[in-house]
Structure 1
Amino acid sequence: MSLMDISKVFSLLQPKEEDEHNEQCQALNNAVRRDDVSLLSDLLSQESYRKSINARSGWGVPVTPLRTAAALGHLRCVEVLLEHGAEIDSLDVKAQTPLFTAVSGKHLDCVVALLKAGADPNGSQYNNCSPVLTAAREGDVDVLRELLRYGAEVNVKPKVPDWASNATACRGPLYISAVYGHLDCFKLLLLHGANPNYNCMDEKMLARIKQPKTVLEVCLRNGCGVEYIQLLIDFGADVYLPNLIIDKTTKQTKALVLLLKERVCPKTLMSQTRLAIRRYLPFARKELAIENLDLPLILRNYLRHDTSELL
C-alpha cells in the first residue's frame, strides 16, 4: 500500500467537518475524557448538545461520548449520558458496543451500570468477539459473573458464513478460560450452563468441521491441571469423546490418569442425580432456581457444586 493510499484511508476515518453535530459531540467527548461531570451535565442541559449525544467524533476511530466514558471507566459520566438518552448499544467502526469496551478495560462498575440500563450482554452480532469471550480470556471473574447474571450466552454461536467455518469458530469462552488458565472463570461458565463437550450448541457448525476438539482434549493438550478435568467430569462431559492415542511413551499426568479412571468407573448415584436435576432446571438463572428448591442447604450446595460443607 502506498503512502497516498494510507493517507486516503486515514482521511476516511476522520470525522467530516461539515457534520453539524461534530463540534458539540467533540465538546461532550472532551468533558468525558477529563471526567468533568459538572461540565458534561451543563452541556447536556442545552438542546443542541442533547441532539449530539449519539454523534461520533475523534480522529481515527470516531466514537460516541458514551463509548468514551465506558472505555475510560468514568462511571458518573456513563450515568449522566444514560440519563440524557445516550444510545446504549451504539457501535463504533469495529462493531464494538460501549459495554464491550468497558469489559475490555475491566471497569466493573461501568459494566454493571450499562447492564442495569439494558445493554445487550452479548455485545454486537457483527463482532466475532464478545464481552463474555473477553472476560474469559482476561480471567476477570467479577465482570464475567455480571455478564452471565444478565443472561449472556455461554455457548458459542456461529457468526461466520458456512464456507468460513473452522475449528476455531466453535471454540467458546470455556475453551478460552482453560487455555489461559483461569479456573474460576472455567467453573463459573460451567455453572451457568456451558456445554462441557464442545462449548458449542450448533450441530451444523460442528458437522462442518473435520476434527472438532472437545474441551477435555484441549485441556489435556494444553497441560491444564487435574482440577479442570475433574470439573468437566462433574458437569457431565463425555469422557469417551477425546480421540486419545495412548501408548507406553505417553506421559501419565494426573489429569490423564483421572480421565482413564473415569472411563472404567461409573458415576456415583449422587453425581448422576445432580446432573439430571441441573439439566431439568431452566437454562438461564440456574442459581436462583436452585435457591428456590425445597431442599436442605447441604443438598442445594451440592447442586451448586459447592461441596465445602460436605467435607
Structure 2
Amino acid sequence: MAQGQTTSTSLMDISKAFSLLQPKEEDQDGELCRALNNAVSSDDVSLLSQLLSQENYRMYMNTPSGWGVPVTPLRAAAALGHLRCLELLLEHGAEVDVLDVKAQTPLFTAVSGKHLDCVVALLKAGADPNGSQYNNCSPVLTAAREGDVDVLRELLLFGAKVDVRPKVPDWASNATACRGPLYLSAVYAHLDCFRLLLLHGANPNYNCTDEKMLARIKQPKTVLEVCLQYGCGPEYIQLLIDFGADVFLPTLIIDKTTKQNEALLLLLKARVCPKTLMSQARLMIRRCLTFANKDAAVDRLDIPLILRNYLKHHNSVLV
C-alpha cells in the first residue's frame, strides 16, 4: 500500500509540474496577448482591428506570447507574411524593432520568409535595415545567401551596410568571419545579388573593412580566390575586375596541372593588361559618390546619357 501511495504521489507531483509550465487559462493578460496573436495567425484583419480598438488589448501589443519562442503580434505577422495585419499593427504604434529571444527583429523574420511586401512596409516604418546588433546574422547576409535580389535591393536602398559580416567575438575570428554578403552570393551562385552588392559599393577584395580582423587572420581569402575555388563563372571575375578588385592580391599557384578555365584565364589576362583610362575614371567617380543609391546619384550628374549608363555599368554601353 505504501508503494502505491508513493507512486500516486509521484504522478501527482509530475502533473503539478507540467501544469506550472502551461499558460494559466485564467491569466487575463495571457489571454489578451494570445487573442492578438491568434488574430494575426489566422490573418483576420477585421478581428485584429476590433481588438486594437480596445485599450486593454493595445496595452499588450508589444508583449510576446506563445509556446517555444514567444513572439509579439508584429513579429508573427512578419514571419507569416500577413501584410494587412502587419500594417494595422504599425498604424497602432507597434514597436518596429522589437526583439524576440533570439535577438531577431520582425524585419529579419520577414527577410528570412522572403516576404518582400512586409520587408518594404517595415523599412518604411523605420525598421533598422541592419537588424539587431545582438544577432550574429543580419537581413543583408540572409538575403544574399538566399539569393533574394528584390529584398536585398530594398535593404540596400534603405541604408543597410553592404560589407556587413557575421558578428563573432574577436577571439573567435577566423577565415570565414570576415566573409560578408559578397562572399555568400558568390558561393551560392547568386549572380544578380553579387552584381547588386558591387553596385552599392561592396569591397571587391575582402568584402570586409575591418583591417584589424584581416590582420589577425593568417591567410584571408579574397573574393577573387573564393570565386575561383568554388568554380564561379567568368562573369563573376569580370565584375570584380570592373569594380576595382586588386588582381594581384590573390595568391595563385599555377603549374602544368592547374586547370586553365575561362575564369582563371580572365584573371591572368587582367594582370598583364592594365585598365583603360575610362574604366579607371569610372571607378574613381563611383568612389566619390558616397550615397547608398549610387545609380540615383549618377542620374543627377549633368553628363550625357551614354556616360551615365557607363557609370552604372550597363553592359550595352561598355567601351
Q: Is the TM value for this pair above 0.5? A: yes
For structure 2, the 5+ residue unaligned runs are 1-17
Give deviations 1:275-302, integer Å, cap 9, x for gaps. Answer: 0101111142212211100011111111
Q: Which residue of 1 aligns with 2:12?
A: none
* Contact 2:137–2:166, Cα closer than 8 Å, also in 1: no
Q: Which residue of 2 aligns with 1:149?
A: 157
Give deviations 1:97-134, integer Å, cap 9, x for gaps. Answer: 00011011111000000000000000111111111111
Aligned length: 302
Q: Which residue of 1 aligns with 2:271?
A: 263
Q: Which residue of 1 aligns with 2:190?
A: 182
Q: Which residue of 2 aligns with 1:253?
A: 261
Going from structure 1 to structure 2, the CA distance change for 1:235 and 1:12 (only over 3 Å counts) comes to: farther
Give deviations 1:151-209, integer Å, cap 9, x for gaps. Answer: 01110256222211111110000000000000000000000010000000010111111
Going from structure 1 to structure 2, the CA distance change for 1:13 and 1:203 (only over 3 Å counts) comes to: farther
* Contact 1:13–1:59, Cα closer than 8 Å, also in 2: no
* Contact 1:214–1:242, Cα closer than 8 Å, also in 2: yes
Q: Which residue of 2 aligns with 1:305?
A: 313
Corresponding residue to 1:125 among 125, 129, 133: 133
Query: How far apart are the structure 2 equivalents of 1:106 and 1:13?
Result: 34
Q: Which residue of 2 aligns with 1:45?
A: 53
Query: How far apart are the structure 1 equivalents of 2:35 and 2:257?
Result: 66
For structure 1, the 5+ residue unaligned runs are 1-9
Q: Which residue of 2 aligns with 1:88?
A: 96
Query: How far apart are the structure 1 equivalents of 2:193 and 2:168?
Result: 26
Q: Does 1:102 align with 2:106?
A: no
* Contact 1:193–1:283, Cα closer than 8 Å, also in 2: no
* Contact 2:291–2:297, Cα closer than 8 Å, also in 1: no
Query: How far apart are the structure 2 equivalents of 1:12 and 1:246?
Result: 67
Tell me which structure has the larger Cα radius of gyration: 2
Give deviations 1:227-262, integer Å, cap 9, x for gaps. Answer: 000000000000011111110000000000000000
TM-score by length of 2: 0.91
Corresponding residue to 1:162 among 170, 174, 192: 170
Deviation, structure 1 residue 62: 0.2
RMSD: 1.9
* Contact 1:29–1:65, Cα closer than 8 Å, also in 2: yes
Deviation, structure 1 residue 31: 0.3
Query: How far apart are the structure 2 equivalents of 1:11 and 1:210?
Result: 54
Q: Which residue of 1 aligns with 2:212?
A: 204
Percent pairwise identity? 82
Instruction: Give the aligned residue type for 1:36.
Output: D
